Structure 1
């Protein structure tokens, strides 16, 4: 695997628990490095979205990845700030 480029994962608009588990497994299988998680399609901004992002952040951290979330809209950013984990997720 080319570690000079970040691993890119794309979160679907309404990720199921199985889809999030699959993305977490992908992170667990990859060597530690930079990860970009595209969240622009994620809608609506609800607690299921917060749960998905938190799970991905935990999975990345366990494997030693540096994850960054890209494309979060204003509604999702506001919800993450309201829940208190926006800063933890780097948003």
Structure 2
């Protein structure tokens, strides 16, 4: 058996995140099934991210915030996280207001500052 070298870079199959489309207002009894869907997508796709398309979720409110909080918790318990696609600006504000830091598609990931890095202080100002 012989093997011939191929010129160029090897073809790499990029791993794309799994997508869960949330359409219409979601009833409270549908939430456990959607949590199961998130777990299954994380397991099947082999990625750490499930993209939740929330463009058609309906009017933003506390029910939507509760749903997304439960989906994020489910994903984290399964070793992943969710990322929102096409969120309404009001939904973004509500998530920030209640303190949920769910990633949004197209935004730079927020990270903690590096350990041991200190900010420069102007002469004459007390250091913190």
With the shorter chain as reference, the TM-score category is 0.7 to 0.9
Matched, 1:20 2:34: no
Which ranges of structure 1 fall in alignment gaps of 5 or more residues? none
- Superposition RMSD in Å: 1.8
CA offset at residue 14 of structure 1? 0.5
- How many residue pairs get aligned? The number is 87
Match of 1:60 in 2: 75
Q: Which has the higher helix share?
A: 1
Output the TM-score relative to the length of structure 1: 0.82
* CA radius of gyration, larger in: 2
Q: Distance in 2 between matches of 1:74 and 1:66?
A: 21
Which ranges in structure 2 are unaligned for 5 or more consecutive residues? 1-13, 105-128
1:1-91 map, 5 Å: 4-30=15-41, 31=43, 32-33=46-47, 34-85=49-100, 88-91=101-104
Give the Cα–Cα distance (whole angstroms) in 2 for the partners of residues 16 and 47 of structure 1: 12
- Partners of 2:94 and 2:65 in 1: CA distance: 8
How high is the TM-score relative to the length of structure 2?
A: 0.61
Higher relative contact order (CA 8 A, sep 6+): 1
Secondary structure at 2:73 match in 1: helix
Runs of 4+ in structure 1 deviating by more than 4 angstroms, as ranges, are none
